[in-house]
Structure 1
Amino acid sequence: MSSLRHFQTLSNLGPEGLVKVLDASDRFKAERGTAAKPLAGKSVALVFEKSSTRTRISLEVAVAELGGHPVVVTAQGSQIGRGEPIRDTARVLSRMVHAITLRTFGEDRLVEMMKYSSVPVLNALTDQSHPMQLLADLMTARSVRGTLKGLKYAWLGDGNNMANSWIEAAGLLGLELVLACPEGYDPSAEELARAKERGARVSVVREPRAAMEGADVVSTDVFASMGQESEQQKRLEAFRGFMLDRELLSRASKDVVVLHCLPAHRGEEIEEAVLEGPRSFVWDEAEARLHTSKAVLVWAMGLDG
């Protein structure tokens, strides 16, 4: 069995490891500009088969601020775009760099990269999961509320990669999570079963108001993710009534934390007044991508002491 610290999902960290990464993220935020350079002399390949703003910039800056050298590899600007097998890319890159991050489509491509790489591989998003974003979400929620325990978490919208990673986080940390999804747009049944086996209180409902009642942290995402543009109109119909607006938000706790991984489609999955409102912490959440990227890179590369 490989001894490499791959970061495919949050479960690679485990409950204690997840909390340690969040603690390290807080330290990196507090010490920004004065922290040590654990990646000095090391290079990290940042491979993107999907477009990116926050993930790309946060990882590039994270590697650079840790003293390392980020090497951005896009599908369009490399042989990946011409069909070079991912296993070949993995073996070539891992002869030259010290870690690889991959933002891709199917989870199978990430698994293949991990199988053939001789350096740690980190999941920077797949169609099935987005653990790096969840680290930022958890960091933000904990920063605002002071704890992750004893809170009600709500998810509104598509049972997508973000929903799956929220379910995984709930399972690892024992959180109460209610997901409101339309019929036919449920999250992974396997993730739900696994979270319940771990003792989390996770449920899927069809009525957004039920999920929002007393919620302390609420998250949403676009209704049509990358690669689903052709389904846009169909999805807008299916998700009618699921927009996080002021009426729904009024059902949450008065100290509710509103999160959105961005980019946001104002007037579709979230109302402008909510996104720009006093309970919105989406900009802190976006910044948290930098600090959590540092922490998980240091963990994966075995530089966390």
Structure 2
Amino acid sequence: MKHLIDITEWTKEELETVFSWTLTMKKHPDPGFKPLAGRSVALYFEKPSLRTRVSFDIGIQELGGNTTIVEQFMAGIGTRESVHDVANTLNGFVDAMVCRLFNHQTLHELRQWSDMSIVNALTDFSHPCQIMADVVTLKEIGLWNDGHFTLTWVGDPNNVLQSWLEMALFYPIKVIVSSPDIPTAFQSWFDDPRMKDRLTWIQNPKQAISLADVVYLDTWISMGQEDEAEARLAKYAAYQVNEEMTGYMQDHAVILHCLPAKRGQEVDDFTMNKFKPVIFRESENRLHVQKTILGYLLEPVRMAWFCSQFPQESTSPLVKA
């Protein structure tokens, strides 16, 4: 049984398989291919969601699976019922559980107490599905270069940055963090010998952006941080990526944003509109990569068979048709 809780629990070969299959299935859509027929997936949400909820729901249905939405007010995981009891209950109903949670540890507990595949659809700690969609996007637009590129993170270091750093353990990605300071939670990454000469902090955002192939943005006020809004807006005011700031970017560089964007805070209208094609391609790719993730976890042989029909485009060193 496989799960997607942290990118670091996977291998590079597994990641490459998902990326390859995602590109193949996106290029060759087949409404008759239903590898998840007879499979059911629970989508569990403690947090509000647009892209995650719709992309997983639609994607699983496109692959022939059944979905059911479970929200915190309904089940009350850890409050109304223990994690143990929720896990054992859903274990009798579904094959996988996709979770958008606050507490990352809950994912590990769900895995401990059930036989379901557990998929991390965002926690306060990490967001692996987003970064896997980002990689697919960079492959499509020609900036991936086998991981040989520089990504500049501008603003508040958070769960999305955490997953980018995890991805950088498998590829030669150089990461620049541009923020007023280095949060304590990320200091261990700067001390990690595996990231030597590949992770740097540059306080000046204009300098940091000028070195980037990819500039990455996210909101300064994540879900659950609303009480800190005033202080955060003041802290990161100089880090808004706007029309003036984009003038420091290299000509080939792009901006990615995991959305939702708070226009007028971390980004302005000009920048969002200029990079709209890549940002909303990035958003759409959540659908495509998550279909592959569920297919890989639940029906890898069927997925391998389908993608093997396009051998010049799709390879997997792990799963044979």
TM-score of the pair, normalised by structure 2: 0.88
Indicate the RMSD between aligned Cα atoms, in angstroms: 1.9
| Aligned equivalent of 2:154 | 156
**Farther-moved stretch of structure 1 (221-230 vs 272-281):** 272-281
Structure 2: distance between partners of 1:302 and 1:178: 38
Which of 178, 195, 211 is 2:176 aligned to?
178
| Aligned equivalent of 2:312 | none
| Aligned equivalent of 2:93 | 96
The 1:111/1:26 distance shift into structure 2, 3 A limit, reads same
Query: How much identity, in percent, do the aligned residues show?
Result: 32
Query: CA offsets per residue over residues 112-166 of structure 1, 9 Å max, x none?
Result: 1111121110101000000011111111122112534332111111111011111
Structure 2: distance between partners of 1:79 and 1:250: 48
Check the 8 A contact 1:164/1:187 in 2, yes or no.
Answer: no
Query: CA offsets per residue over residues 161-180 of structure 1, 9 Å max, x none?
Result: 01111111112212111111
Which of 259, 262, 268 is 2:259 aligned to?
262
CA shift at 1:247, angstroms? 2.3
The 1:256/1:128 distance shift into structure 2, 3 A limit, reads same
The 1:187/1:273 distance shift into structure 2, 3 A limit, reads farther
CA shift at 1:280, angstroms? 5.3
Which of 50, 75, 83 is 2:80 aligned to?
83
State the secondary structure of the residue aligned to 1:76. helix
Structure 1: distance between partners of 2:99 and 2:168: 24
Structure 1: distance between partners of 2:32 and 2:188: 40
Q: Is 2:218 aligned against 1:221?
A: yes
Amino acid at match of 2:178: A
Structure 1: 5+ residue stretches without partners: none
Structure 1: distance between partners of 2:255 and 2:216: 6
Structure 2: distance between partners of 1:273 and 1:251: 15
Which of 34, 37, 51 is 1:37 aligned to?
34
Query: CA offsets per residue over residues 256-300 of structure 1, 9 Å max, x none?
Result: 121111111111001110001147511101100000101111122
| Aligned equivalent of 2:295 | 298
Query: CA offsets per residue over residues 81-121 of structure 1, 9 Å max, x none?
Result: 85211221111111111111111001111111111121110
Equivalences for 1:125-204 in 2 at 5 Å?
125-148=122-145, 149-183=147-181, 185=183, 188-194=186-192, 196-197=193-194, 201-204=198-201
| Aligned equivalent of 1:71 | 68
Check the 8 A contact 1:159/1:186 in 2, yes or no.
Answer: no
Structure 2: distance between partners of 1:290 and 1:22: 13
| Aligned equivalent of 2:308 | none
CA shift at 1:13, angstroms? 2.4
Amino acid at match of 2:294: L
CA shift at 1:187, angstroms? 5.2
Which of 257, 276, 283 is 1:286 aligned to?
283
| Aligned equivalent of 2:239 | 242
Structure 2: distance between partners of 1:199 and 1:300: 33
Query: CA offsets per residue over residues 205-234 of structure 1, 9 Å max, x none?
Result: 222123211311111100010000000000
| Aligned equivalent of 1:114 | 111
Amino acid at match of 2:236: F
**Farther-moved stretch of structure 1 (221-230 vs 139-148):** 139-148
Q: Give the total of aligned pairs.
A: 301
Structure 2: 5+ residue stretches without partners: 305-321
**Farther-moved stretch of structure 1 (82-91 vs 112-121):** 82-91
Structure 1: distance between partners of 2:30 and 2:229: 42
TM-score of the pair, normalised by structure 1: 0.92
Check the 8 A contact 2:182/2:201 in 1, yes or no.
Answer: no
